[in-house]
Amino acid sequence: MKADLQVHDQVARLTVIGELDAYSAPQVRDRLVEALENDARWVVVDLRKTEFIDSFFLTILMGAGKRAGGKCGDIIVVCDASHLLQIFDRSGTTELLNVVPTMEEAEQLLYDWRASDQQPEEGQS
């Protein structure tokens, strides 16, 4: 498994190549937690080159989404492989983790979140 994590402009972008299970995923978790404890408010996880995920990794993603959400951010998962999409679907996490099939859709969602984040709260002048 090879994981690349870049944090830029408050977005942590994680790309994973290979297989994620209870042996390999903790490395990814530690790096995600570190990114979220520092600068990142949003997380984009690119699984287009990932061959396997399990419930252990789903739990890590849910934890990352929760941490990001706590700072008014959120998580997006980019995934287009049917056997992985089935795992999100069967576990009921597709909506929670904002699973989308393309990076273009992820960027659009991120753009929308940023836009709504920059709007002044009601009652503020």
Partner 1 sequence: MSTRRDRVTLSVPAQTRYLQAVRLLTGGLGARANLGMEEVENVKTAVNEACTNVTEHAFCDENTPDECSMKLVFFLSDGEMTVEVIDEGCGFDPKHLQPRIRPPLSEQGSLGLYLVHELMDEVKIESAPGSGTKVIMTKRRSR
Q: Which of 58, 75, 76, 79 binds partner 1 (CB under 8 A)?
A: 58
For the chain, where are the alpha helices, taking DSSP H only?
25-37, 55-70, 82-91, 103-118
Select from 18-26, 38-46, 104-112, 117-125 the region that touches partner 1 (CB under 8 A): 18-26
Alpha-carbon distance 96 to 115, whole Å? 20
Residue 110 Cα distances to 11, 38, 57, 73, angstroms: 9, 19, 22, 10
Judged by CB under 8 A, the number of residues near partner 1 is 22
Q: Which of 5, 15, 17, 21 binds partner 1 (CB under 8 A)?
A: 21
66 binds partner 1 (CB under 8 A): yes
> Token pair of 74, please?
């959120």
6 binds partner 1 (CB under 8 A): no
- Coil vs helix vs strand at 96: coil
15 binds partner 1 (CB under 8 A): no
69 binds partner 1 (CB under 8 A): no
